[in-house]
Structures are given as structure tokens and as C-alpha cells.
Amino acid sequence: MLWLGLVAGLVALAILTLRGPSGSAAGGLGVAAAKWGALALFGAIAIRCAFRLAAGLPIIEASELGIAIWLHGPYHRPFFAPWNRVQDIVLTEVAGSRRTTGAGRCNALGIALIEDDQFRIPDFPGDARAPVRDAPRASLAWSSRTIGGDPRKWVELLERMKSVYTEPEREPT
């Protein structure tokens, strides 16, 4: 979606720039002001999309406390799951886009959470998807396209972090 916004903003800027934001005798200053306004709007859209693409803001962030997941995008409050609520981190499969992968399934990072009356995953319209049938169970799953890397490496990294932060400390003997 960000690429689409960037391309649309740049194309609109190019069209408006080539047509020129000058007033004519028929349209007067109102037309020129509208063209300048449109130039500013499309320029802002292009700049915002370019910034978000370049910044690579996280979808998942892990710390010693748990995993923060931005279900509603990087500029909204994240959903936080403490490590004691993370049941498992798995390599699973989600339905892939035939247009991009050429297949019906693709590997994905899956996080299985322990849910009850006090802890629930909020509703969201995001990129996290349910795994396909016959794949390892996960509450949330993200394909490599969404997380920007190989899901196997993400699974390995998050499993290591979970084991480091959830293992009880051994007392010296």
C-alpha cells in the first residue's frame, strides 16, 4: 500500500507540474490556488509514503519483558504480550498471494499466545493472518513479505530471546 501511495503521489505531482499551476484568464486565481493545493497534498502523500518505506518501522519488537506487536500500524499503540503469555514461536504457513509467490502457501513467522478472560488479542484488520490448515498452530502469523526477512531467522531469534528471558535463574552451588 505504501508503494501505491508513493507512485500515485509522484505521478500526480508530475502531471500537475507539467500542466503548471498558473492561473488563466478563464479560471483566474481560484484554479491556480486549487492546483497549488493539489501539488501540496500529493507532495505530502509522496513524502509520507517514502519516509515510511525508508524508515522500515517495526511490526514486531521483542524485549526482556515480552513482544510488542503493532497490529494497527507503526504509528498506533502496540499490543503487548509478556513472555509468560507466549506459548510458542513456530514456523508456520499462510495463504500466499499467487501474484507474488506463484504458490498457494508461503512460510510465515507464527506466535501462539495463551489467551483467557484477562488476556485477549484485539480485533484488527492487519497483515497478521491465521495459518492455513495442516500448518503448525499460531495465534498470529506474518509472511516474509510483511516482516521483511526470512521467517526461519525470525523464529530462531525470537525462540532464543524467549528462552533467555523465561528460563529461571540458577542459583550458584
In this structure, the answer to whether residues 81 and 40 fall within a common structural domain is: no
For residue 34, which of 51, 55, 19 has the smallest C-alpha distance?
19
How far lies 95's CA from each of 108, 136, 146, in Å? 10, 13, 13
Among 164, 173, 140, smallest CA distance to 63 is for 164
Question: In total, how many domains does the chain have?
Answer: 2
Cα distance between residue 71 and residue 112, in whole Å: 15
Calpha distance 45→28 (Å, rounded): 27
pTM: 0.61
Tens of pLDDT, residues 11-61 = 888 887 777 655 454 556 677 777 888 888 888 888 887 877 776 666 888
Q: What pLDDT, on a 0 to 100 scale, did the predictor assign at position 157?
A: 92
In a domain, 172, yes or no: no
| 155/77 same-domain check | yes
Single-letter residue type at 42: F
Q: Which range marks the domain in which residue 117 is found?
A: 60-166
The set of cell numbers assigned to 27 is 479560471
| pLDDT interval class at 64 (50, 70, 90) | very high
Angle formed at CA 161 by CA 87 and CA 70, multiple of 5 degrees: 70
The verdict on 97 and 125 lying in the same domain is: yes
Distance CA 173, CA 169 (A): 12
- Cell 516474509 locates to 144
Looking at the fold, whether 111 and 155 belong to one and the same domain comes out as yes
The verdict on 48 and 64 lying in the same domain is no
150 and 67 fall within a common domain: yes
Q: Are 61 and 78 in contact (CB under 8 A)?
A: yes
Residue 171 within any structural domain of the chain:
no
Task: Please indicate, yes or no, whether residues 21 and 97 belong to a single structural domain of this protein.
Answer: no
Is residue 117 included in any domain, yes or no? Answer: yes
Q: Is residue 101 scored above 60 in pLDDT?
A: no
The CA-to-CA distance between both ends of the chain, in Å, stands at: 57
